[in-house]
A and B are shown apart, each in its own frame.
Chain A
Amino acid sequence: MISMPALLGLLAFVVAPFLLAVVLGFSNLRLGSPLPLEWVGFEQYRRIFADPSFTRALFNNLLFALVVVPLQTALALVLALLLNRRLRGIALFRTLFFMPVVFPLSLVAVVWILIFAPGPNGTMNAFLELVSLGAWTPHDFLRDTRLALPAIMLTSLWQGAGFQMVIVLAGLQAIPAELYEAAMIDGAGRWQQFWHVTLPQLRNTMIFVVLVTTILAFRLFDQVQIMTQGGPHDATTTVMFEAVEAAFTRQQVARGAAMSVVLFVVVLLISWLQRRLARQEREVA
């Protein structure tokens, strides 16, 4: 009985909208359309999978996840290891690395548009020219079909790593110091301590981090909306971007609903797969 308000909230704000999306996905609802509402079965799904923009969006999401999830997790682990020390001023560094998480994504995206500015005076271009000793010729990152998605990946990495870093740091600090002392006395060097104590002890934390990063990767939207609008030539479009475009710009509500259902199923599948793999590993180890 005490959980009733929470259950009601869950029903009203999570379950109901989702069920509505499933139902609408089987219709041809389009706001402002003179045509009557019809139930079209799987027609919307057939159409979106025939749409090259949508399949490109799925591919982009997948590519984004494949690159960003391992990189961001590794980066978060390295940062956490570096910041898990008792040094003077370590709190300042922790704050600095966490700062991007606090900034609104839209603001971050605007800042990175400036960094990726075309021409030799853009920060990124100037930087790459400097480190490549002049071999780099300036590119217009966000309007280059090959560079636009990597540019967005970089922005996301910069913005997201701090959050994972904090979670991993908490995981690191939960490891009892005695385990390291025991390992030292048992003859384990630094690398062996990392391999035999730190990593196994961080296992659950890492599973969580990978899972959350994957889900966030599939929900990629803000950076795309602000930095590239999905372009050039769908090079940076994502499922979320396509769904929002369909539902709100073109008012094809049913099409947008079908896309979000597809997104939901994909994320569910991946989470389930990761959990399964993680559990198997636990039994073997």
Chain B
Amino acid sequence: MAGVEYRHVDKTYPDGTRALSNLCLSVGDGELMVLVGPSGGGKSTALRLLAGLDPISGGEIWIGDECVNALSPQRRDIAMVFQNYALYPHMTVRRNLEFPLRMMRLGRSATAARVNDTAALLGLTPLLERRPRELSGGQRQRVAMGRAMVRQPRVFLMDEPLSNLDAALRTQIRAEIAGLQRRLAITTVYVTHDQVEAMTLGDRIAVLNAGRLQQVGPPQVLYDRPANTFVAEFLGNPGMNILAAGLSRDRRSLQLRSSGWEIPLAELPQRCRELAQHLAGPFLVGLRPEAFSPRLGTTTEMIVETVESLGHERLVTVRPAADTKGGGQTSLVARLRGGQAEGAGQKIELGLDGEQLRFFDEQGDLMG
């Protein structure tokens, strides 16, 4: 049992690519930390550095009270689940599960006992004598989990472990992983590019982009108060709408620029004191798709561009009717429920929940 800490970690690959810059992140003992971000964001690099598979360029990584920079992967007492599972194809499931224990030189009876326990826990007992190629994707995934669990490591590393499964299985195994992790209480670093997985699994989420840590925190906090526009747009499906905006001369209303919208919002300056500094200049406003509603206060006329129906809700892309230029730049996505389904080109009235507005400065950092 041990926590993990990245202290000012840098990674530059030999070809000069800077994969991680000054990563500072601490994962508590028994915590499930999800590293999420687009590909090339540095999340897999962070995991490989923790595993010891790639050398670290700067800073320190600690597992428990030990700096592991100089330790080989063999001596870090970690276990990893790979995206493609990396099961040993020439070994049966039993031999695969035994392998880490044999490398630890655990006794024969203790090995058998642990393998049987792990197999029973994961429902692998009937498959023990089969080989990986005779298993389905979901079963292979379980074997990979089992091989990681069987040695009771200090830290679990998971590198997109669900990305090769179909959607239904992914949801099911996601829940299983969450349950197992909570039961075993082993510190886990979980890498994914899928924000749904991140939101549902993580005790905390760390969002990485272009090698830099954007924000760390519990999923709901990141969703409600994203530290910058990148996190705002990355989390949520679809992400937050980000628009250029400014205050009107009389300071009573908010104008969403380039869309000719005006929203009277008397309480705005209280909500976000820093807004006062931006009276003259432009800033950015973020709106979650669920901030729109047809039945809210003052409404604005919108033209429907596309409708995606998910059954229980509709994702409707709209542009303000006042915006005559059109084009994707000012399109907004609204999440609507109930009522009649809209048709493309139709005009509808939409209101905004001012409580759900977020304000970012021109650099994209959250003001309030």
Q: A186, B82: Cβ atoms under 8 Å?
A: no
Q: A189, B74: Cβ atoms under 8 Å?
A: yes
Q: A176, B103: Cβ atoms under 8 Å?
A: no
For A179, give the chain B residue with the smallest CB separation.
B86
In chain A, residues 158-206, which have Cβ atoms closer than 8 Å to a Cβ of chain B? Answer: 176, 178-179, 181-189, 192, 196-197, 200-201, 203
In chain B, residues 72-102, which have Cβ atoms closer than 8 Å to a Cβ of chain A? Answer: 72-74, 76, 78-80, 82, 84, 86-91, 99-100
Q: Known contacts A176-B84, A183-B88; can you find 8 more A-B pairs with CB under 8 A? A: A178-B84, A182-B87, A184-B52, A185-B52, A185-B74, A185-B78, A185-B157, A201-B89
**Residues of the B chain whose Cβ atoms lie less than 8 Å from the Cβ of A184:** 52-53, 72-74
Q: How far is the CA of A196 from the CA of B78 in the complex (A)?
A: 20
Q: How far is the CB of A277 from chain B (nearest CB, A)?
A: 17
- Say which residue of B86, B90, B100, B151 sits within 8 Å of A181 (CB atoms): B86
Q: B90, A285: Cβ atoms under 8 Å?
A: yes
**Residues of the B chain whose Cβ atoms lie less than 8 Å from the Cβ of A178:** 82, 84, 86
Q: B74, A196: Cβ atoms under 8 Å?
A: no
- Say which residue of A181, A197, A200 sits within 8 Å of B82 (CB atoms): A181
Q: A187, B100: Cβ atoms under 8 Å?
A: yes
Please count how many residues in chain A sit with their CB below 8 Å of the partner chain's CB atoms.
19
B positions within 8 Å CB-CB of A: 51-53, 72-74, 76, 78-80, 82, 84, 86-91, 99-100, 103-104, 147, 151, 157
Q: B86, A182: Cβ atoms under 8 Å?
A: yes
Q: How far is the CB of B24 from chain A (nearest CB, A)?
A: 24
Q: How far is the CB of B87 from chain A (nearest CB, A)?
A: 8
Q: How far is the CA of A186 from the CA of B149 in the complex (A)?
A: 11
Q: A187, B90: Cβ atoms under 8 Å?
A: no
Q: How far is the CA of A219 from the CA of B145 in the complex (A)?
A: 51
**Residues of the B chain whose Cβ atoms lie less than 8 Å from the Cβ of A188:** 74, 99, 103
For A201, give the chain B residue with the smallest CB separation.
B90
Q: How far is the CA of A269 from the CA of B151 in the complex (A)?
A: 47
Complex A-B, nearest 5 residue pairs according to Cβ-Cβ distance, in ascending order: A187-B103, A182-B86, A178-B86, A200-B90, A186-B100
**Residues of the A chain whose Cβ atoms lie less than 8 Å from the Cβ of B87:** 182
Q: A196, B79: Cβ atoms under 8 Å?
A: no
Q: How far is the CA of A179 from the CA of B91 in the complex (A)?
A: 12
**Residues of the B chain whose Cβ atoms lie less than 8 Å from the Cβ of A285:** 90
Q: A186, B99: Cβ atoms under 8 Å?
A: yes
Q: A192, B103: Cβ atoms under 8 Å?
A: yes
For B150, give the chain A residue with the smallest CB separation.
A186
Q: How far is the CA of A188 from the CA of B79 in the complex (A)?
A: 12
23 chain-A/chain-B pairs, Cβ below 8 angstroms: A178-B82, A178-B84, A178-B86, A179-B88, A181-B73, A181-B80, A182-B88, A184-B53, A184-B74, A185-B53, A185-B74, A185-B76, A185-B80, A185-B157, A186-B79, A186-B100, A186-B147, A186-B151, A187-B74, A188-B74, A196-B99, A200-B91, A201-B90
CB within 8 Å for A197 and B72 given contacts A186-B100, A186-B103, A187-B100? no
**Residues of the A chain whose Cβ atoms lie less than 8 Å from the Cβ of B51:** 181, 185
Q: How far is the CA of A186 from the CA of B84 in the complex (A)?
A: 16
- Say which residue of A182, A189, A203 sits within 8 Å of B90 (CB atoms): A203
For A285, give the chain B residue with the smallest CB separation.
B90
Q: How far is the CB of A129 from chain B (nearest CB, A)?
A: 46
**Residues of the A chain whose Cβ atoms lie less than 8 Å from the Cβ of B99:** 183, 186, 188, 196
**Residues of the B chain whose Cβ atoms lie less than 8 Å from the Cβ of A187:** 74, 100, 103-104, 151
Q: Among the interface residues A178, A182, A183, which one has the most CB atoms of the partner chain B within 10 A?
A: A182
**Residues of the A chain whose Cβ atoms lie less than 8 Å from the Cβ of B91:** 200
In chain A, residues 191-249, which have Cβ atoms closer than 8 Å to a Cβ of chain B? Answer: 192, 196-197, 200-201, 203
Q: How far is the CB of A175 from chain B (nearest CB, A)?
A: 10
Q: How far is the CB of A174 from chain B (nearest CB, A)?
A: 12
Q: How far is the CB of B164 from chain A (nearest CB, A)?
A: 13
Q: How far is the CA of A181 from the CA of B52 in the complex (A)?
A: 10
Q: How far is the CA of A200 from the CA of B92 in the complex (A)?
A: 13
Q: How far is the CA of A188 from the CA of B99 in the complex (A)?
A: 9
In chain A, residues 96-113, which have Cβ atoms closer than 8 Å to a Cβ of chain B? Answer: none
Q: B74, A182: Cβ atoms under 8 Å?
A: no
Q: How far is the CA of A178 from the CA of B100 in the complex (A)?
A: 15
For A178, give the chain B residue with the smallest CB separation.
B86
**Residues of the B chain whose Cβ atoms lie less than 8 Å from the Cβ of A197:** 88
For B87, give the chain A residue with the smallest CB separation.
A182
Q: A182, B80: Cβ atoms under 8 Å?
A: yes
Q: How far is the CA of A278 from the CA of B147 in the complex (A)?
A: 29
Q: How far is the CA of A203 from the CA of B51 in the complex (A)?
A: 29
Q: How far is the CB of B112 from chain A (nearest CB, A)?
A: 17
Q: B88, A185: Cβ atoms under 8 Å?
A: no
For A197, give the chain B residue with the smallest CB separation.
B88
In chain A, residues 27-46, which have Cβ atoms closer than 8 Å to a Cβ of chain B? Answer: none
**Residues of the A chain whose Cβ atoms lie less than 8 Å from the Cβ of B157:** 185
Q: B73, A185: Cβ atoms under 8 Å?
A: yes
Q: How far is the CB of B161 from chain A (nearest CB, A)?
A: 13
Q: Among the interface residues B74, B76, B89, B151, which one has the most CB atoms of the partner chain A within 10 A?
A: B74
**Residues of the B chain whose Cβ atoms lie less than 8 Å from the Cβ of A182:** 80, 82, 86-88
For A192, give the chain B residue with the smallest CB separation.
B103
